Structure 1
Amino acid sequence: MSTNELAGKVAIVTGSGRNIGRAIALALAEDGASIVVNSRSNKDEAKAVVREIETVGERALVHVGDIADPAAVQAMVDMAIAEFGRIDILVNNAALRREKPFAEMSYADWREVMNVILDGTFHCVKACLPHLKKSGAGTIVNIGGLSAHTGAPDRAHVVTAKAGIIGFTRALAHDLSPDGITVNCVVPGIIGTPRPKNTPEPAHHLIHRTITGERGKAEDVAAAVRFLCSPAARYVNGQAIHANGGAYFGG
């Protein structure tokens, strides 16, 4: 149900052409925000999300670019300002979820994941920061990962990068609070999103179980992000909020 709480606000959601990112973009648009839909390479997916947003009466635009590239990130921010005139919300959702045993992992494999999850988040925050400061009520929501809290086989790079996101969230909450910017992290549990054809189920999905025995939906994660972007959440800062159906209890 729309509350129109975010009317007049502008949000950038990285990796929002599908799955959790798409659900977040739609949830924020349903509350009145204009959205920058970012995709690493699939313009058609991003355009489809824009059309969905337009059907709820809000504005959106497509940005295709790799957040690991600071020039691409700056171009995305410049596009948002040129079209919408402001940025109030940044959701750092884009990530790579590779799997490979550590003994077989090359430094290039390691860096590929770090470049997107950690460096990409850094680039997005740096580029958006002047505009988030001007907002007066800026919001950053980083998307974490359950395996950063539990560990997982064949994911040393992803687990490490997502654990770094938690630390980055807590550090930024301190640094940016004087500018009226909140920084939080939403940690998805086992979410039933579509996987590429012939791609096996991640090993850590088979280890963890929810209390109900059911997997979450992308919309469950989006609901937590939506709350953190709302006026009611201004006192929530520096937190890692889990949306996992009871698959893990902890901070």
Structure 2
Amino acid sequence: MAETKDGHDQPRRTDMPTDLTALPGRPLTGQVALVTGGVRRIGRAIALALAEAGADIVINARSSADEAEDVCRAARALGARAEVHLADVTREDDVERMRDHVLGRFGRLDVLVNNAAIRQQAALTEMSLHEWRSVLSVILDGAFLTSRAFLPAMVAQGYGRIVNIGGVSAHTGASQRAHVAAAKAGIEGFTRALAVEFAASGVTANCVVPGKIGGKRSATSGESFGIHDREVRPIVGREGRPEDVAAMVMTLCGSAGSYITGQSLHVNGGLFLT
């Protein structure tokens, strides 16, 4: 809480910090964004949307250096400063080194997008404890460690946007995806807790929940079951695009998102109706 001249506390601002150098159509000029798991599909689309809006971008990946650098080249072509930082978000020391690097390089972090995930599949009765924990670790431990690492800087500057990427299976269930559904349900609860704890510090936290997103899936995604089956179509008549999800993230990170926090926002074309 900020203190007024008469000694009373008042909430910190949650609107975007003013940057007089911002160009029309580039509302995030002067801001810095980190996207975990930012090399493919939704992560890539989010990173490029933020870059196009004027933010400087840090692309996090665990090991895909070439793909991450490809995203950076695309972001630089949009006029952003962009760089890669390889780190395993489940490792506390990796995340702390990433925090030190980002803050040392840019001096701030305004936007944190927790997108890193693995979506392996296994029948529940055949699922090992290692498989269960590995999925929960990337999705939940990763979001916890990165949020914990960067929140002090956001609180100190009185501004921040945290966007966690959820999953529709947390609401519908999915065959052979018990670990994924559990982790994605957990990230929504984590988001609400962040929103309550840090609202007075000028930090918003929201969860964007994609539905059936088309395009080539990563090697860790496996096949689709349940509501993601090919015969199940969103009521708008098409699968989603990664850019559809990125557009919602951009809304939350821009001035239009200043009064939105603690929410789970579904981007699914009516595949699942809340």
Q: Scaled by the length of structure 2, what TM-score is found?
A: 0.88
1:15 matched to 2:37? The reply is: yes
Query: Structure 2 vs 1, CA of residues 196 and 117 (structure 1 numbering), >3 Å: closer, same or farther?
Result: closer
Instruction: Select which of 160, 177, 180 maps to 2:182.
Output: 160
Partners of 2:251 and 2:215 in 1: CA distance: 21
1:245 match: 269
Unmatched runs of 5 consecutive residues or more in structure 2: 1-23
Query: Structure 2 vs 1, CA of residues 107 and 200 (structure 1 numbering), >3 Å: closer, same or farther?
Result: closer
Partners of 1:188 and 1:49 in 2: CA distance: 21
Unmatched runs of 5 consecutive residues or more in structure 1: none
1:233 matched to 2:261? The reply is: no
Q: 1:72-221 counterparts in 2 under 5 A?
A: 72-196=94-218, 201-204=223-226, 205-206=228-229, 208-221=232-245
Query: Structure 2 vs 1, CA of residues 200 and 123 (structure 1 numbering), >3 Å: closer, same or farther?
Result: closer
* More moved, 202-211 vs 157-166: 202-211
Query: Structure 2 vs 1, CA of residues 238 and 196 (structure 1 numbering), >3 Å: closer, same or farther?
Result: closer
- TM superposition shift of 1:190: 0.3
Max radius of gyration: which structure?
A: 2
1:66 matched to 2:88? The reply is: yes
Q: How many aligned positions are there?
A: 249
Is the 8 Å Cα contact of residues 155 and 201 (structure 2) preserved in structure 1? yes
Partners of 2:135 and 2:180 in 1: CA distance: 6
- TM superposition shift of 1:208: 3.9
Is the 8 Å Cα contact of residues 146 and 188 (structure 1) preserved in structure 2? yes
Query: Structure 2 vs 1, CA of residues 19 and 134 (structure 1 numbering), >3 Å: closer, same or farther?
Result: same
* CA offsets 1:155-213 (integer angstroms, 9 cap, x no match): 1100000000010111111001011100000000100131257x863113116420122
| 3-state SS of 2:152 partner | helix
| 3-state SS of 1:63 partner | strand
Residue type at the aligned position of 1:97: R
Percent of residue pairs identical: 52
Partners of 1:243 and 1:27 in 2: CA distance: 16
- TM superposition shift of 1:121: 0.5
* CA offsets 1:83-120 (integer angstroms, 9 cap, x no match): 11110110000001010000001111111011100011
Is the 8 Å Cα contact of residues 119 and 222 (structure 2) preserved in structure 1? no
Ranges of 4+ aligned residues in structure 1 off by more than 4 Å: none
Is the 8 Å Cα contact of residues 87 and 135 (structure 1) preserved in structure 2? no
Partners of 2:137 and 2:222 in 1: CA distance: 24
Residue type at the aligned position of 2:145: H
Residue type at the aligned position of 2:154: L
Residue type at the aligned position of 1:235: Y
Is the 8 Å Cα contact of residues 97 and 158 (structure 1) preserved in structure 2? yes
Query: Structure 2 vs 1, CA of residues 189 and 32 (structure 1 numbering), >3 Å: closer, same or farther?
Result: same
- Which structure is higher in helix share? 1
- TM superposition shift of 1:134: 2.5
- TM superposition shift of 1:27: 0.3
2:54 match: 32
Partners of 1:56 and 1:213 in 2: CA distance: 31
